[in-house]
Amino acid sequence: MSRWRATKASRVFAALQRIGWAVKREAKGSHKVLAREGSPNFVWAFHDRDEIGPKMLARIAKRTGLTPEDL
């Protein structure tokens, strides 16, 4: 069983900001480019009300350093 539970995108985005990610620039629609010192940029492409499932959360965590405790 996954350590991750489905979560709203707005909650995940807020958690990313708490761990040091900041919006570098906003593109069209829901796309935002996030940046953090010492990490490659990360493209955020979710609307606030979107539900992000466990598999996608695991992928986001792998690239950003997010943990289930951060949520």
Q: Global pTM?
A: 0.91
Tell me, what's the pLDDT at 21? 98
Q: How many C-beta atoms lie closer than 10 Å to residue 52's C-beta? A: 19
pLDDT confidence of residue 1: 55
* Residue 44: per-residue pLDDT: 96
Strand order of the β-sheet with 22-26 is: 22-26, 32-36, 39-44
Q: Which parts of the chain have pLDDT scores under 50?
A: none
Place of tokens 């796309």: 31
